[in-house]
Structure 1
Amino acid sequence: MHLQEDLLDGEPIRWLEHGAGPPVVLVHGIPTSPRLWRHVMPLVDGRSLALELAGYGSSIPDGEGRDLGLAAQADRLLRWLDLVGVESAVLVGHDLGGGVAQIAAVREPSRFSGIVLTNAVCYDSWPIPSVKAMQRGAPVLRYLPELALYPSFVQLIHRGHDDRARALESIGVHWQHYVSHGAARSLMRQVAALDVADTLAVADRLPSLGLPARVVWGDVDQFQKVEYGRRLAADLGTTLRPIPGGKHFTPEDHPEVVAAAVNDLLVPSPEDDRAH
């Protein structure tokens, strides 16, 4: 698994890459990075490319002064596909990355061979209350020292995991980017860009998207309720695959389930032929 870097319209863009075969593009959310997919990518039967959203992970410093909203991130994703020469990829999204995936797929469905969404933001499901509170308090919170935010970060991660060992691993993986680049300012910059209008703008286009789809959901997620997963699945013409007892960070706690959904679309079933 290697971190790749290039320039997109003069600005740095990074992604993790692993494997060979049909392309699979994976998009993370907040407060994570491409390493969210570190346990999924080795299980995928294809060439996995996990995009790092602008202003996240090792790209946090590059987020200053840039539009970090979901619609802008989707536009970058589409232009990045041209940069890396990827065509007809299976598109996979979690959390905010699921919103980015919906927008990108609606804008250019011909670029994708299928879509997998897991505990994704959608419709009016977000921002969650804790993020709204951060948005309201951003003018003050951005000046807090890193240690003041760390307990809240730890609590958020634990609330989103049903596997405690994986949660502890996740804290170390994802906090390092924030503490390296100024946690308070970085996180506040990210949350300030979040606007539910981005997913609402494409919601009525999902039923006519016409792409083979899989929707996988931790069914006790406190952040993105399973009812939203059922609605997404229905709109995308598929059946929800619940993960009993699963919480929010499914790519870390249940990578085998997420990878199985991706691999399903790398070998399309007869019912998926309707999209082509």
Structure 2
Amino acid sequence: MTKVFVHGVPETSLLWGELREQVSGDSVALQLPGFGVPLPDGFVPTKETYAAWLAEELRKIDGPIDLVGHDWGALLTLRVATLGDVPLRSWAVDVAGVFDPNYVWHAWAAALLPEGKGEAILRERRTGSIDDAATFMIDSGVSTSAALAMATAHDEVMSRCILGLYRSAVPNVSATWGTQAQTPTSSPGLVLIATGDRVDNETAARETAERLGARVAVLPGGTHFWMFDPTGTAAAALADFWASLP
């Protein structure tokens, strides 16, 4: 089995370093195009393009695949899992509440949607102090080295990709992807609920899990960056899930 991890925004695959050390077996952390790596020629950064890219990358990996997504990586994982055209042994995501049909984008995402304003917000972020840009991540438990490296990777290309993702998901992701997300997925799923994650909503996350036939694992006190949990609770939740599969 291969564990495949997909990060969110504004992040890179460095997000998964510590968790990958805690889980057994082969693993790979994919890097979304434009997030610390170049954009392929002709790549237009929208949610549809990224979902198609993820599906294609997964087809290159010898299975069975246990797919794990965080933040936008979670939304892309849910898209792949609900379409069911890429064989997965399992999938696991956080922020499943964002996949709710009634979800309203959180304040930072909503601020990026207007033309001009979003560009200005991200320009200020990437041209300001790297320490300041990394502070939110560090305060939420991300290691200083990983937070600084991800903040450093935030360039103009990453800004364009972030804006492209959010602006392709108005009013929310389910507006276009929700039709295929009303019945249990063909592969077993796990919804991780980090109780300290202000992006997520536990009630909506549980409803998403119920619609998709997924299990739920609560991470008490976990932040948006639950994968940096020093107690090993997150790694244990994933390991228990994987161990329960055929």
Could you say whether these structures have the same fold, taking a TM-score greater than 0.5 normalized by the shorter chain as the test? Answer: yes
**TM superposition shift of 1:253:** 2.9
Instruction: Identify which range, 96-105 or 147-156, moves more after superposition.
Output: 147-156
1:190 matched to 2:162? The reply is yes
**TM superposition shift of 1:150:** 4.7
Match of 2:16 among 25, 37, 41: 37
Match of 1:202 in 2: 177
How many pairs align?
238
Structure 1 residues 114, 250: CA separation in 2 closer, same or farther (over 3 Å shift)? same
- Residues 99 and 199, structure 1, Cα contact 8 Å, conserved in 2: no
Structure 1 residues 45, 236: CA separation in 2 closer, same or farther (over 3 Å shift)? farther
Match of 2:225 in 1: 249
SS in 1 for 2:99: coil
1:217 matched to 2:202? The reply is no
**TM superposition shift of 1:105:** 1.3
- Residues 2 and 66, structure 2, Cα contact 8 Å, conserved in 1: yes
C-alpha RMSD over aligned residues: 2.9
Match of 1:128 in 2: 106
**TM superposition shift of 1:259:** 2.6
Q: State the distance in 1 between where 2:198 and 2:28 align.
A: 28
SS in 1 for 2:24: coil
Match of 1:148 among 100, 103, 128: 128
Q: TM-score, normalised by structure 2?
A: 0.81
Structure 1 residues 72, 258: CA separation in 2 closer, same or farther (over 3 Å shift)? farther
- Residues 6 and 73, structure 2, Cα contact 8 Å, conserved in 1: yes
CA shift digits 1:24-75 (9 cap, x unpaired): 111110111111111111222221111111111x21x427862222222121
Q: TM-score, normalised by structure 1?
A: 0.73
Structure 1 residues 42, 115: CA separation in 2 closer, same or farther (over 3 Å shift)? same
After the TM superposition, which parts of structure 1 deviate over 4 Å for at least 4 consecutive aligned residues?
141-145, 149-152
Structure 1 residues 24, 66: CA separation in 2 closer, same or farther (over 3 Å shift)? same
- Residues 118 and 258, structure 1, Cα contact 8 Å, conserved in 2: no
Match of 1:51 in 2: 30
SS in 1 for 2:70: strand
Q: State the distance in 1 between where 2:3 and 2:86 align.
A: 15
Which structure features the higher share of strand residues? 1
Q: State the distance in 2 between where 1:143 and 1:257 align.
A: 36
Structure 1: unaligned runs, 5 residues or longer: 1-21
Name the aligned partner's letter for residue 76 of structure 1: W
- Residues 27 and 51, structure 1, Cα contact 8 Å, conserved in 2: yes
Name the aligned partner's letter for residue 165 of structure 2: A
Match of 2:68 in 1: 92
Q: State the distance in 1 between where 2:132 and 2:88 align.
A: 37
Match of 1:13 in 2: none
Match of 2:202 in 1: 226
Match of 2:39 among 55, 58, 62: 62
